[in-house]
Amino acid sequence: MQIKTLFDLMEWTRALHQKLASCLTHCATQHPDEGVSLLLSYLAAHESSLEKMVATFARETDLNVGKTYVYDYLPHHPIKIHIACDAHYIPGRERERFLSIHD
pLDDT digits (tens, 9 = 90+) for 4-38: 899 999 999 999 999 999 989 988 888 888 998 99
Domain membership of residue 48 (yes or no) is yes
- Number of folded domains that form the chain: 1
More reliable by pLDDT, 38 or 77 = 38
pLDDT at 10: 94
In terms of DSSP H, where are the helices of the chain? 6-30, 34-60, 63-66, 94-101
Give the HSE-up count for residue 41: Cα atoms under 13 Å, Cβ half-sphere.
10
Residue 58 sits in which domain range? 6-101
pTM given for the model: 0.73
pLDDT in tens, 33-74: 899 899 999 999 999 999 999 999 999 999 998 998 887 776
Q: What local confidence, expressed as pLDDT, does residue 42 receive?
A: 95
The verdict on residue 32 lying in a domain is yes
* 72 belongs to a structural domain: yes
For residue 1, being part of any structural domain is answered with no
